[in-house]
């Protein structure tokens, strides 16, 4: 009998060199139990990155993430290394190809909300595709807000097309991305939610991307801890494995 199970694969760690024009960092709270995945590649004057949350078990999601990463790492240098490109159109091409890679690796539809971005270092411009609604919380001199322009999640259909949005980063501007595990971290019936994630960015007007991610993860983790009197703390109560907590921050240095 043939074994049709997918081979065990784990995505490679991100290997982004230090970049003086952009502070970009991703942090996971602990070992991942689900499908959260981040990667970033420097290509000429651009830094291209993605944050996705692939539905399914950790083993299945990692196989699919590995296929998406293979495509991402192959195509980013091919598409973005030259200085004279249409950043919006090129990002749309990349999104289409990653969507196809996820669909094929899944053997069909697989929900994969994804934030895909391309940061132009000399201009301080971010082209982005928010495919599925990963909250992108942005802060600059005009205040703190959630960036809009949400499109269909990746992984559901093979022939999707994607129209990017664009956001200018003035020196000191920062953006925070969080996955579902942070938003849905709960205490009783109350969820951590976008409002608390936004408050983190409002309350930290400066500091590194690494620190911003760390505060966000710690706040969400502390929020979801059951109180001492909760039945969840009883030794004979079987608890569900915790959701992944993942945060990504971008800061344009002053």
Tokens of 14: 């991100």
Spatial neighbors of 254 by CB under 8 A, at least 6 apart, are 171, 172
Question: Is residue 39 one of the residues assigned to a domain?
Answer: yes
- Answer whether 55's CB lies under 8 Å from 112's CB: yes
Question: Is residue 6 one of the residues assigned to a domain?
Answer: no
**Burial of 190 per CB tally in 10 Å (0-12, 13-18, 19+):** exposed
Q: Which residues of the chain have pLDDT under 50?
A: 1-5, 228-229, 233-234, 236-237
Residue 49 domain boundaries? 30-225+241-251
**Burial of 240 per CB tally in 10 Å (0-12, 13-18, 19+):** exposed
- Answer whether 53's CB lies under 8 Å from 76's CB: no
Sign of the CA dihedral with 204 first, then 202, 120, and 81 last: positive
Question: Is residue 159 one of the residues assigned to a domain?
Answer: yes
Residue 184 pLDDT:
84
Residue 58 pLDDT:
83
Residue 232 pLDDT:
52
- Answer whether 120's CB lies under 8 Å from 45's CB: yes
CATH number of the domain to which 116 belongs = 3.60.40.10
| Strands laid side by side in the 23-28 sheet | 23-28, 246-251, 174-178, 136-140, 143-146
Domains in the chain, number: 1
Question: Is residue 231 one of the residues assigned to a domain?
Answer: no
Sign of the CA dihedral with 48 first, then 52, 54, and 59 last: positive
Question: Is residue 196 one of the residues assigned to a domain?
Answer: yes
Question: Is residue 92 one of the residues assigned to a domain?
Answer: yes
Question: Is residue 64 one of the residues assigned to a domain?
Answer: yes
Spatial neighbors of 61 by CB under 8 A, at least 6 apart, are 34, 35, 37, 54, 55
**Burial of 17 per CB tally in 10 Å (0-12, 13-18, 19+):** exposed
Question: Is residue 112 one of the residues assigned to a domain?
Answer: yes
- Answer whether 119's CB lies under 8 Å from 91's CB: no
């Amino acid at each position: 009998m043939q074994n049709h199970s997918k081979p065990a694969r784990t995505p490679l760690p991100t290997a982004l060199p230090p970049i003086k024009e952009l502070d970009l960092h991703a942090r996971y709270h602990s070992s991942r139990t689900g499908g959260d995945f981040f990667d970033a590649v420097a290509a000429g004057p651009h830094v291209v990155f993605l944050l996705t949350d692939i539905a399914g078990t950790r083993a299945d999601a990692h196989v699919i993430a590995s296929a998406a990463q293979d495509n991402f790492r192959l195509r980013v240098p091919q598409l973005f290394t030259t200085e004279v490109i249409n950043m919006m159109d090129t990002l749309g091409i990349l999104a289409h190809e990653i969507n196809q890679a996820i669909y094929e690796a899944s053997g069909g539809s697989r929900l994969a909300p994804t934030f895909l971005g391309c940061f132009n270092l000399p201009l301080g411009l971010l082209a982005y595709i928010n495919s599925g609604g990963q909250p992108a919380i942005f802060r600059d001199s005009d205040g703190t807000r959630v960036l809009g322009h949400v499109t269909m999640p990746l992984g559901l259909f093979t022939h999707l097309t994607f129209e990017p949005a664009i956001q200018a980063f003035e020196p000191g501007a920062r953006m925070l991305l969080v996955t579902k595990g942070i938003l849905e971290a709960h205490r009783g019936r109350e969820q951590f939610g976008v409002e608390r994630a936004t408050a983190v960015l409002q309350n930290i007007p400066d500091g590194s991307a690494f620190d911003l991610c760390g505060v966000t993860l710690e706040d969400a983790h502390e929020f979801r801890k059951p109180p001492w009197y909760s039945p969840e703390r009883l030794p004979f109560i079987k608890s569900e494995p915790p959701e992944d907590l993942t945060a990504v921050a971008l800061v344009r240095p002053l």
